[in-house]
Amino acid sequence: MSEANRSTERNDGRANFNPSRETEPAMKTFEKRNDPQIDRASSLTQQHAYRRWPQIVGIETLVPHDIMPGLLALRLHVQDASGAPWIGHGETYYIPTSVAAVIHDFFAPRLLGADALAIESHWRFLYERMIAFAGTGAELRALSAVDLALWDLSGQIHQEPVWRLLGGPVRDSVPVYNSSGGPSYGRRNQQLPASSGWPGHGDPGKPGPLEDNWASMNRPEELAQELIELGYRGMKLWSFDAVYRRQGGQLLTPKDIDEGLAPFRAIRDKVGDKIDLMLDGHGFFSLAAARQIARAMQEVKPLWLEDILRPDCVETMAEFRKSIDIPVAVSEMLVTIDGYRRVLEAGAADMIMIDPTWVGGISATRRIAELAQAYNVPTLMHDCTGPMTLLSGLHIAGSNSGVAYQETVRAHLATLYPQLIDIEVRVEQGHLSLPERPGLGARWKEDLFDPKHPGYRISEIRG
């Protein structure tokens, strides 16, 4: 494909997009009709989604195996009535090739030719069709990516950051904490280079700059001091993961407890209460083991215990929370609004954590956060995945006063995200400022979406 036919982005967020490029193996095309609201609408009740501009004319996805193999990057190409082009940016994480298939093979007939600003209509239509066959895996991740891109487009077209469209601001900046991933966390898997690895089984790291997973276990007090000096307000450790990988999570010995508790003790001995401490159990432990961990953790006064239990039995989660004296955070492992409702109704959480790119995008995340407010339960925003996830969390926090903390991985901010997006994300005094750029606030780097890349797919309107 010639360079002249590629999508190139302008500084204002618009893009040159030629939807009549030559067909390639990973391309799916749809013929343009004279009366798109009649031809593309699935029924009379859906014609509203095709009557107005701007119109979606192209869908690109990219799985950057060579940078972050678990990531799915999305671009929606749009034209307004005058022919002016725009690009919306979205993402999700885990099983990205399956997500790409959902977008191109299932979602594209709904989206191509449709009004890009009919965000709620598209979300509801696609959600109701996927939920009919229990589509809460790749399908919900696909919906999340599309929803992010639609909100990004709306912000760009209206020349406002997304938090403004959501009713913000409710603050100027968002408090963040550092999660103990290193530069290789979520990157190429050393044993299976084409795989993103298993959740909770990340690379333990090695000595070196920004190797926070390694440092959290081998020099935790020095890491804590370093983070405090950088202005971070909190740090999250995964110190019981190695115990689980060695022997499972049914029952723990006193030696296992001491191993997982040792980094927390070292931090408290060194810096006292100058930094919030959290434990992520990645859902590895039984109720019995979780209670062992909770009893032992009381001495180091963590701000919360997160996903010590798998969130697959609400009654057990509620019993756990009521039997301990430490706040419990639940859980980015939940993916449906009703899942969060059941947790809140059962009193199973002191805080809830949401990943915008897993639950159904910004549209679903704001509903969940507002639901939590009705129960007087704070919201925590998850990000150990990609830059659009982080930015989406900031927009939710900028428009919902119930958000208490945003997760970050400083190694990703410094080493990974610069390879993916066109802005620098900088933590200052333990906070991230609300994005001021229209839309989500960042764009995918243009050279990522190379049609020759093995992870590239496109669906578009021709003619």
Q: What is the mean pLDDT of the chain?
A: 91
Burial class for 178, CB neighbours closer than 10 Å (0-12, 13-18, 19+): buried
High-pLDDT (> 70) share of the chain, %: 88
Q: Which of these ranges, 10-24, 156-170, 213-227, 401-415, has the smallest mean pLDDT?
A: 10-24
- Sign, CA dihedral 437-434-94-153, equals negative
Task: For 147-173, give one letter per residue: b (16+ CB within 10 A) or e.
Answer: bbbbbbbbbbbeebbbbbbbebeebeb
In this prediction, residue 27 has a pLDDT band, given cuts at 50, 70 and 90, of low
- Checking if the pLDDT of 432 tops 70, the result is yes
- Checking if the pLDDT of 34 tops 90, the result is no
Q: Which of these ranges, 11-20, 52-61, 69-78, 186-195, has the smallest mean pLDDT?
A: 11-20
Tell me how far apart the alpha carbons of residues 223 and 415 are, in angstroms, rounded to a whole number: 18
Instruction: Give the per-residue pLDDT at 40.
Output: 74
Instruction: Give the per-residue pLDDT at 29.
Output: 60
In this prediction, residue 43 has a pLDDT band, given cuts at 50, 70 and 90, of confident
Global confidence as pTM: 0.92
Average pLDDT over residues 130-142: 94
Instruction: Give the per-residue pLDDT at 9.
Output: 35
Instruction: Give the per-residue pLDDT at 199.
Output: 65
- Checking if the pLDDT of 286 tops 50, the result is yes
Instruction: Give the per-residue pLDDT at 74.
Output: 99
Query: What are the tens digits of pLDDT across the range 301-338?
Result: 999 999 999 989 999 999 999 999 999 999 999 999 99
Whether 297 contacts 347, CB under 8 Å: no
Query: Radius of gyration of the chain from Cα atoms?
Result: 22
- Checking if the pLDDT of 188 tops 50, the result is yes
Average pLDDT over residues 87-96: 97
Instruction: Give the per-residue pLDDT at 194.
Output: 52
Residues 6+ apart with CB under 8 A from 107: 59, 126, 142, 143, 146
Residue 365 vs residues 129, 154, 312, 361: alpha-carbon distances, Å: 19, 17, 20, 6
Question: In the numeric block, which tokens belong to residue 10?
Answer: 């302008």
Instruction: Give the per-residue pLDDT at 338.
Output: 96
Instruction: Give the per-residue pLDDT at 204.
Output: 82
Average pLDDT over residues 95-103: 97
Whether 141 contacts 196, CB under 8 Å: no
Domains of the chain (ranges; CATH) run 3-159+445-462 (3.30.390.10), 164-433 (3.20.20.120)
Instruction: Give the per-residue pLDDT at 462.
Output: 79
Instruction: Give the per-residue pLDDT at 14.
Output: 54
High-pLDDT (> 90) share of the chain, %: 83
Instruction: Give the per-residue pLDDT at 463.
Output: 61
Dihedral Cα 250, 252, 257, 259, nearest 10 deg: -90
Instruction: Give the per-residue pLDDT at 95.
Output: 94
Query: Which residue in the block uniquely carries the two structure tokens 């199973």?
Result: 348
Average pLDDT over residues 69-95: 96
Instruction: Give the per-residue pLDDT at 4.
Output: 31
- Checking if the pLDDT of 275 tops 50, the result is yes
Any bridge partners for residue 329, and if so which? 306, 351
Average pLDDT over residues 111-137: 95
Whether 196 contacts 203, CB under 8 Å: no
Question: In the numeric block, which tokens belong to residue 385?
Answer: 């995945």
